[in-house]
Chain A
Amino acid sequence: MADMALPVTTGVRLARIFAWTMVAATFVYLINNWLMYWIGWPGPKSLLNYGFSALGLLQAVFYLAAVALCTLYVIRSNISLRADSLRMTAITNFIIRAAFWAVFLIGIVDATVSFLRVEEMLGGLIGEELSSKMNFNANRAPLVHGPLIVLSIIIAALTRRTLGFHWLTLLVVIAELNIVLSRFIFSYEQAFMGDLVRFWYGALFLFASAFTLFEDGHVRVDVLYAGFKDRARGFVNAWGSILMGIIFCWVIIIMGMSGKASLINAPLISLEVSQSGFGMYVKYLMAGFLGVFAVSMMVQFCAYLLESVADYRGDPGSRLQSNDDELPAH
């Protein structure tokens, strides 16, 4: 494959630098967001508004470093666009795999804890002191959710083979069946059961989106597109990724995390829980789903950009033609 590849042009390098910079900037933004609202650093913007501070400068330097490192990486490593694209897809897959394990484990454990708490059996199992701690999310989040998230990341790093997220469809079915059986047969229904369904269903469609993009499963209006050649398709997809996709993801990320009271930050900081007293304590994590969605889509769109540039150039290995015989999934 490599020997047939077209020559590397400046355009290709620029596309790769752009894509990797977007990915890196996203992660720097996330790190800075954490530093600002959880640790209390001033943030890069403070340089403009409040004058010099060492930490603020450091945070600004992160962005510059990201650009520099990406440029260096692109110049030093001479791999093909498609291979680079697959590297990004691997990042997305890792994020989604970790996120899947997190919602899977947290869903089961938190629902169990909530169930035991409603039935007043929690104290007997883990002791009264710990049990009463579980009534407050300030304790439940670090004691239960935190370790499970760490565990999920470890599992995601160790198991490379599966994406996992598709199991959420079955989990949603099972969680809803659980409601059906317990409600209709045992006349038993609690808020946490509905919360569990909602928790997994929200994760399902948000986490599945990146994979759907990779598989070209999102609906297109293909009146014209169906007749396009690879080059035209690559053109549309590359510019679409930049103008529609990447911007879309930035809007979610910035609107969600630009301040303490923002859409994603606020519930995460306050560890928001749902109003129903005996539900699961995971609502704040559901705000985070949107962040997972935006970040995974950002990386995937960058991967898609590189792949589309390759399609546009006619690099070997295109997946477009092979998709022609298949029907769009809608």
Chain B
Amino acid sequence: MEIFFLIVLLVLMAGALASGFPVAFSLPGSAILTLLLAAGCGYVFAGDATAYFHSGSAPEWLAAGTINFRGVYWEVERDTLIAIPLFVFMGIMLQRSKIAEDLLLTMAQLFGPIPGGLGISVVFVGALLAATTGILGATVVAMGLISLPAMLRNKYSPPLATGTIAASGTLGQIIPPSIVLIILADQLSSATDQAGTARKALHKASTGELSMPSEFAVSSTSAGEMFLGAMVPGLVLVLLYMAFILVIGIIRPKMAPSVPFGQKMDLKMAGRIVLILVPPLALIFAVLGSIIAGIATVNQAGAIGAVGATIMAGYRLQEGKRLAMLPAYLAIGSLIAIFLISSNYDINIRAIETDEDRTAVMLAAIAVSIFILSVAWSLIRTFRIDDTLKGVMIDTAKTTSLVFIILLGAAMLTAAFRAFGGEELVREFLTSLPGGFWMQFIIVMAVIFFLGFFLDFIEIAVVVVPIVAPILLMDPSANITAVWLGVMIGLNVQTSFLTPPFGFALFYLRGVAPKEVRTIDIYKGVVPFITLQLIALVIVGNMPALVNYLPNRISLTSETAPPPVNPRLQYCMEQYVAGQFAENGDTIRAAVASARGLPVDLLPKKLGKELSDGFDNAEVSFELMTGISTSAAAVEAAAVAYRPLHILVRGLERDARKMDSKIKDLSTTLSRLKSTNPDSPRIPELEAQIAQIMGERDDLLAKIPEEWAETNETFAKLTKAEVTARNTYRRNSDKAFEPVEEIVTILVAVEELDGLSEDLTALRDDVATGDPEALEQRIKTLRSAMKNAEAGKDTLKGLSDARKAFRKDPDRAKAAEALDRAVAGLAADLAWRREAKEKLLPGLESYRTAVGGTIGLRKQRVLPSEQALYVASCSADHRDISLNF
């Protein structure tokens, strides 16, 4: 019966949507109606309100849906969504103040003389405008209103003109900072959690191990990463569009004639062009740049964008009047001042200690006040002139609200879909398809493409993504990243919006195009762009690195980069090191050999032994690396024969598990029935059913080929050997490099330690006479300073003993004895350290540099840039890890 109510749900939803009632309420409304209907029918026909649910009851699912409503703004984890009103504010401000329009017209003038120049500038501005609004309808309408008349006036062929506008309008979906990317990131991050759990369960079921190595985890995403991932594909599309129009302009000048530059180019004109072009471009770069550089979060960048747009609107609205530019100049001036101050001083308002700090904070405060003044001034202008601010605020509030209420409504729909087992049904359908991941992927993409005819991107992101994304992300054979999936969905929906006869963009364009442009022209015009889109889709599909590289690179080179010991990085790091060994092995070996000649005996015995053992380890690491390659090659060779068998058996086991859970459900029902109603005729029925499924399951398991157990064991041994080889290498290289780091740190700190020795002697002199409390304090300070300067064990122990002696009843004799030990220890330390610093340190440091990027890579604080770039590109490709499951 669940299936029946699932169909009721879908029919109700489709009917409600088709009737034209607002989406935001049709989704939850049909979900609620179906839940109530199922509960009612269950109560009437089966005597149990939960009878027709896959699990749970109507109140439970309604409560779950309502909790989801609140979840949108209740938890800190979903803070990224705050960026939406901020970016919408920025986009609407740019449009309402006519900055966007100016940009389009000026670009068109500037590039008019090149073949197809007008079209190219439409694409360029479309991409840029899109980047500031990210709302499909708004961009298409704005561009249709402004640029279509200009293109037609200049004798562009109507199909080309409309095609260009529709296609560049849809760019907004994919070019950051688009709000749909933010929503996708939000939805994908919870999908990633689900996929991760499912993958762990699969790992446990197939290997029997309790925990899954974290390098196999599903990689998550954030809005910032989503922006980065979409950047390259977006630019590729823009370039493809531009190239297409340029080619048309050259081959068929009639379709895209060049437009002579209307006005005389003088200094005033040039100044105007600069004033119109530079600020919006600079704003976009500031917003995206601060996200890319990892300086600001997406929300903070959104606030920067909103304020920047306001300042620009402030002078644009005042254009031609007195002091028009003053607030903008004030803002720029104060920002430069702030930049200068903060690059010269370390401003921290909580740690004002010196007069210099105070001056810096004062200066910064003045600059910030000027900045705020300029923002306020601009706001007042937008408030006064044409009621711009009010219009922007109301439009922003409405747009934000419509986006978020859909988000709320979809949460209820997802709850109802789960209530009737829809999620499981979809999973079963997808996983039972032949052809593995790619078949699933293509089906999902086709469904999304189809839905794109009727639903906007936001609806698709909130309704379809939560259901299908976990299934796709979980698959270990494709092991795709969430960012790539998001970008592929984005590209796909974008194409769908362009496709006649239903494409959204076409509707919007039809609405604003003049009557003489025939609808068929619009349809004809988008065909080449759809082709380009599909090409882009195929390119990105085949080269995931286009999407994954940039986010990887930024995350590995940022300040918050994961440390090189992070398990997820090891695979690629080892590839890098293996490459280096093959290429520069001799140089590295020579470095180890020459390090052996260093005067290790200058060091204390234990350290010296560690260091020379470390050299041994360094030498062994070449061999161990070969071990990794050999074992990996062995795994790869065996995988050829093993893979088909693995797929077959895991498939059978998966089906058997499904039957197991069905048997379990039936057995529970049976035992409940037996205790409540032992005479029920259902009991023998159920028993027969269970026996039948058990038989089916046994048949299924019997299909597992006999050689499986053995093959699997052999293969498991090989993989185990590879894992062992890798772990051995890692431990070995840690041992090889740790002593080097330790000794270098000690030796570098010699001067500092030397500087402290006078304090120690002074302390020793005062110990007999000084005030015990003050002495204890001095010892404490000195000890921590000594510790920072890598003082030896004896010194530190002496100091802490001395301190202990002063704790309760001061025992000066004991303290003096302890301090003597400390003095002696320090003298001894300093003696060997001074010498070692002179004779050992230079050699050791050059050794450290020579092997730090390979053998010592794991022990670096962050990955050095060369290695980081290698790892970024290596891990940008999806790696098949299915044989580990």
Contacts and interface: CB of A to CB of B under 8 A. Distances in A.
Q: 3 tightest CB-CB pairs across the interface, nearest first?
A: A225-B20, A244-B29, A240-B21
Most buried by B among A177, A185, A198, A256: A185
Interface of A: 165-170, 172-173, 176-177, 179-188, 194, 197-198, 201-202, 204-206, 208-209, 211-213, 215, 217-226, 228, 233, 236-237, 240, 243-245, 247-248, 251-252, 255-256, 263, 286-287, 289-290, 327-330
A263 B82 contact: no
A173 B29 contact: no
B63 A255 contact: yes
B307 A173 contact: yes
Contacts of A166: 390, 393-394, 396-397
Interface of B: 16-26, 28-30, 32-33, 59, 62-63, 65-67, 69-70, 73-74, 76, 79, 82, 85-86, 89, 135-138, 141, 295-296, 299-300, 302-304, 306-307, 338, 342, 347-350, 361, 364, 368, 371-372, 375, 379, 389-390, 392-406, 409, 412, 454-456, 458-459, 502, 508, 511-512
Given A176-B82, A201-B82, A217-B398, A187 B349 contact: yes
B230 to A, nearest CB: 20
A221 B405 contact: no
Contacts of A215: 398
A177 B300 CA distance: 7
Contact of B16 (A173, A181, A212, A244): A244
A201 B401 CA distance: 10
Contacts of A327: 137, 141, 508, 511-512
Nearest to B136: A330
B29 A219 contact: no
Contacts of A211: 397-398, 401
Nearest to B396: A169
Contacts of A290: 66, 69-70
B454 A217 contact: no
Contact of A186 (B347, B400, B404): B347
Given A185-B364, A244-B30, A329-B138, 18 more contacts: A169-B400, A180-B300, A184-B295, A184-B342, A187-B350, A212-B398, A218-B25, A219-B22, A221-B20, A223-B502, A240-B21, A244-B21, A248-B29, A255-B66, A263-B67, A290-B66, A328-B137, A330-B135
Nearest to B137: A330
Nearest to B306: A173
Given A186-B349, A247-B29, A213 B22 contact: yes
Given A169-B393, A233-B20, A245 B350 contact: no
A247 B405 contact: no
Contacts of B67: 263
A115 B27 CA distance: 42
B19 A197 contact: no
B802 to A, nearest CB: 37
B858 to A, nearest CB: 32
Contact of A165 (B21, B30, B304, B397): B397
Nearest to A274: B76
A189 to B, nearest CB: 10
B287 to A, nearest CB: 12
B73 A198 contact: yes
| Chain B interface, DSSP helix/strand/loop, else mixed | helix
B398 A252 contact: no
B497 to A, nearest CB: 12
Nearest to A220: B20
A224 B307 contact: no
13 contacts: A172-B82, A173-B306, A197-B82, A217-B398, A217-B402, A219-B406, A236-B19, A240-B16, A240-B25, A248-B28, A287-B70, A290-B70, A327-B508
Given A201-B85, A245-B29, A168 B19 contact: no
Contact of A263 (B29, B63, B394, B404): B63
Contacts of B65: 251
A167 B393 contact: yes
A186 B403 CA distance: 35
A225 B347 contact: no
Contacts of B375: 177
Given A179-B303, A208-B397, A245 B137 contact: no
A247 B32 contact: yes
A309 B302 CA distance: 42
B32 A329 contact: no
B137 A251 contact: no
A226 B137 CA distance: 15
Contacts of A206: 73, 401, 404
Nearest to B379: A170
B634 to A, nearest CB: 51
A250 to B, nearest CB: 9
Contacts of B404: 205-206
B610 to A, nearest CB: 40
Contacts of A218: 22-25, 401-402, 405
A201 B18 contact: no
Contacts of A212: 397-398, 401-402, 405
